[in-house]
Amino acid sequence: MKRCIVLGKANVGKSLFVLSFAEYLGVQKVSVTIEEPGRHGQSRTVSVRDAMAQWVSDTPHQTRALHAVQLELPVGKGVKRFELVDTSGLSEGIPRETAIRRAMAQTLAAVREADLVLHIVDASAAAQEGAVEAIGEVDFQVAHFAQMKGGYLILANKMDLPTAKEGLERIRQEFAGHPVIPVSARTKDGFREVKRYVWRWI
Amino acid sequence: MHAMAMSPGPPHTAEEVLDLFEQGKLSPAEAFSLFRRLHQTGKVPAVHVPAAAAPRAKAREEDDEAERRRRLQEAEAELMSLIGLDPVKRLVKEIQAYIAIQQRRSAERLVSEPLVLHMIFKGNPGTGKTTVARILGRMFKEMGVLPKGHLVECERADLVGEYIGHTAQRTREHIKKALGGILFIDEAYSLARGGEKDFGKEAIDTLVKAMEDHKDQLIAILAGYQREMEHFLSTNPGLRSRFPIHIDFPDYSADELLQIAHLMLRKREYRLSAAARAKLAALLRTEAGKADPNFGNARLVRNIIERAIRRQAVRLVRKARISRDELMLIEEVDLGEVSAG
Ligand SMILES: Nc1nc2c(ncn2[C@@H]2O[C@H](COP(=O)(O)OP(=O)(O)O)[C@@H](O)[C@H]2O)c(=O)[nH]1
Ligand SMILES: [Mg+2]
């Protein structure tokens, strides 16, 4: 089964994107495998709505484990199953807490093994002057590495917010040469294009 | 006091990178950067082989065509956004036009020239040879010249083996990895170092044979210093005719170096004070004037910038209160006694 990793800084909308995309593909209940560092994955089935209430949040580093959501897409007469994996947010600096470093290390390892990397950046924050928090060195390094590996897409999220247009411009400039799709995890705008791209990689 | 973290010895596997990260010795950005380097130097196995594209429905073809054009434009835009390199950009435009016209002629059943796109890149280190090769690969893929368009980089040490036959085998392995894309051989002249007896010749012969056997599957680029490449080609006349495209990569001018410096700083969210700006400009002027072939140009700028960033950190770390602006500002003193190293 192909694995598609969703990553990005804290609070850019990774968790909402994963669940919202699952909803877009027409599922109300998702089977999620929760992979904590150093432990076997625990699977359970939850409704998308409950998962959203639980996992989408304004506090950074909510997600300390990988949440692999099992999904399928129609291919020819059958379906292709794939995993969409929500990860703990990346930080610019070295995290102080060991548990967060372990969770992030898990994300790094997952990126190496992924078939497809969806890199989310917050377009609504990207245009604020000197927004180190919005796009920074870690984002450039991810882009550099993931592109070389192949199967890499940047999602400029929160396009429903007023400052996002300008942010998208900046993202396109800064990541010139990388594919960027504007989306809103809230309104599901842009999901058609994302689906098409994912379809091609699984 | 928090001194700067000493950089640990370079890790050799991805697992070592992850260990260092867990120990808090690397930032996520540094970890990704190391992953990339490991991936490039082939010290860890390449992780990803894209699966063959699934058969597609007719309706998707138009979408695909638009997508293909968009990706081609993206690659072109990236090439154009590289600072300087005007002669390189011009030549790439020419090659692109030439390919397009030959494809059109062949569609109209006119006699078309066979596309022989093997190339020689001549220029000092750090002048953008690898970057341009990588972009060309992407462009060729979108133009339908190469099926995959990826880049496999190697040098003498990767190709030459220890006994007779070993070299051919190692060379073939690299060629196999490069099939569908570009094989980029850096410092190619070192393959001719030992004369007739040397295994380097075995590598060249294997390469030449592969270029014949896989005509539509492989583009080879030989790269290296201008003078050495000229000499290499003059002593291997058979090679010259097989590599019809020669591109010279000029050193960056002081002005271009300054632009590169600003771009690097901007990406890292730093900026220069007026005095620092003047000092950097002066520094780059003297360096660019030195015409040292090892003066790896863009690489030198990177060294200067990275050192300045570390010095700024040392300067700030003792302060009790640091403003956001101070965090971004590189002062003249941070450029300190920067040397070309
Ligand atoms: N307006 C808007 N808010 C969003 C969007 N995506 C996420 N958010 C909000 O951003 C915050 C962080 O989202 P979350 O998915 O937890 O981010 P994560 O840390 O990257 O997983 C939450 O308050 C979300 O409701 C979007 O497309 N538009
Ligand atoms: Mg989250």
Ligand that comes closest to the CA of residue A67: 2
Is residue B90 domain-shared with residue B237, that is, in the same domain? yes
Query: What is the least distance, in Å, from the CA of A45 to any CA of chain B?
Result: 30
Q: Do B86 and B173 share a domain, yes or no? A: yes
Pick the residue with more confidence: A47 or B254? A47
B124 and B228 housed in the same domain: yes
User: Is the pLDDT at B47 greater than 60, yes or no?
Assistant: no
Q: Could you tell me the residue range of the domain that residue A34 belongs to?
A: 2-201
Domain boundary (B221, B249, B277) is at B249
pLDDT of residue A65: 86
Of B18, B36, B64, which marks where a domain is finished?
A: B64
Residue B77 in any domain: the answer is: no
Q: Is residue B283 part of a domain?
A: yes
Please tell me whether residues B243 and B155 are part of one structural domain. Answer: yes
Mean of pLDDT values over B313-341: 82
B265 and B232, same domain (yes or no)? no
Q: How many CB atoms lie within 10 A of CB A21?
A: 25
Render the burial of A73-86: b for 16+ CB within 10 Å, e for the rest: eeeeeeebebbbbb
In the predicted structure, residue B219 carries a pLDDT above the cut 90: yes
Closest chain A residue to B14 measured between Cα atoms?
Answer: A109
Q: Are residues B210 and B322 in the same domain?
A: no
Q: What is the mean pLDDT of chain B?
A: 81
Q: What is the pLDDT of residues A161-190, one digit of tens each?
A: 999 999 999 898 888 888 999 999 999 999
In a domain, B57, yes or no: yes
Q: What is the pLDDT along chain A (202 residues), one digit of tens a residue?
A: 899 999 999 889 999 999 999 999 999 899 998 888 777 778 889 999 998 988 888 766 556 789 999 998 888 888 889 999 999 889 888 888 888 899 999 999 999 989 999 999 999 988 775 555 678 888 988 998 988 887 899 999 999 999 999 999 989 888 888 899 999 999 999 999 999 999 888 7
Asked whether the predicted pLDDT for residue B290 surpasses 70, the reply is no
Whether B60 and B133 share a structural domain: no
Sign of the Cα pseudo-torsion (B236, B230, B127, B216, in order)? negative
Instruction: Indicate whether B55 pLDDT > 60.
Output: no
Q: pTM, whole model, 2 decimals?
A: 0.51
Strands of chain B, DSSP E: 119-123, 151-154, 182-186, 219-224, 245-249, 271-272, 329-330
Q: What angle do CA B192, B222, B32 make, to 5 degrees?
A: 115
The Å distance, Cα A126 to ligand 2 centre, comes to 19
User: B139-196 pLDDT, tens per residue?
Assistant: 999 988 899 999 999 988 888 888 878 888 999 999 999 999 999 998 888 887 765 5
Is there a domain that residue B70 lies in? no
Contact residues of ligand 1, CB 6 A cut-off = A 8, 10-16, 56-58, 63, 89, 157-158, 160-161, 184-186
Question: Distance from CA of residue A24 to its chain's centroid?
Answer: 15
Q: How many domains does chain B have?
A: 3
> Using an 8 Å Cβ cutoff, are B275 and B309 in contact?
no
- The answer to whether residue B74 sits within a structural domain is no
Amino acid type, B336: G
Residues B308, B172 share a domain: no
CB proximity A104 to B under 8 Å:
yes
Residue B223: predicted pLDDT:
94
pLDDT of residue B340: 44
Instruction: Say which CATH number the domain at B286 has.
Output: 1.10.8.60
- Structural domain contains residue B192: yes
Predicted ipTM of the assembly:
0.93
- Residue B224, pLDDT above cutoff 60: yes
E strands of A126-189, at which residues?
152-157, 180-182
CB B145 within 8 A of CB B136: no
Q: Please state which of the ranges B1-5, B58-62, B73-77, B249-253 shows the lowest mean pLDDT.
A: B1-5
Do residue B191 and residue B239 come from a single domain?
A: yes
The tokens for A125 are 């924050």
pLDDT at residue B2, rounded to an integer: 39
Does some domain include residue B95? yes
CATH code of the domain covering residue A61: 3.40.50.300
* A90 and A104 Cβ atoms separated by less than 8 Å: yes
- Going from the C-alpha of B14 to that of each of A2, A28, A40, A87, the distances in angstroms are 21, 38, 21, 19
B184 and B110 in one domain? yes
Q: What token pair was written down for A6?
A: 């969703």
- B294-311 pLDDT, tens digit per residue, is 555 677 788 889 999 999
| Beta carbons of B224 and B122 less than 8 angstroms apart | yes
The reply to whether B12 and B159 lie within a common domain is no
Distance B261 CA to ligand 2 centre (A): 35
Q: Which of B36, B267, B268 sits opposite A148 (nearest CB)?
A: B36
Domain check: are B115 and B245 in the same one? yes
Residues of B with Cβ-Cβ distance to A93 under 8 angstroms = 27
Supply the range of the domain harboring residue B26: 3-64
Number of domains present in the structure of chain A: 1
Q: Is residue B140 part of a domain?
A: yes
Contacts of A132 in chain B (CB under 8 A): 269, 328
- Which chain A positions have a beta carbon within 8 Å of B25's beta carbon? 94
Taking an 8 Å cut-off on Cβ atoms, the answer to whether B74 and A179 are in contact is yes
Query: Would the CB atoms of B32 and A145 count as touching at under 8 Å?
Result: yes
Residue B265 C-alpha, separation from nearest chain A C-alpha, in angstroms: 11
Rounded average pLDDT over B22-45? 78
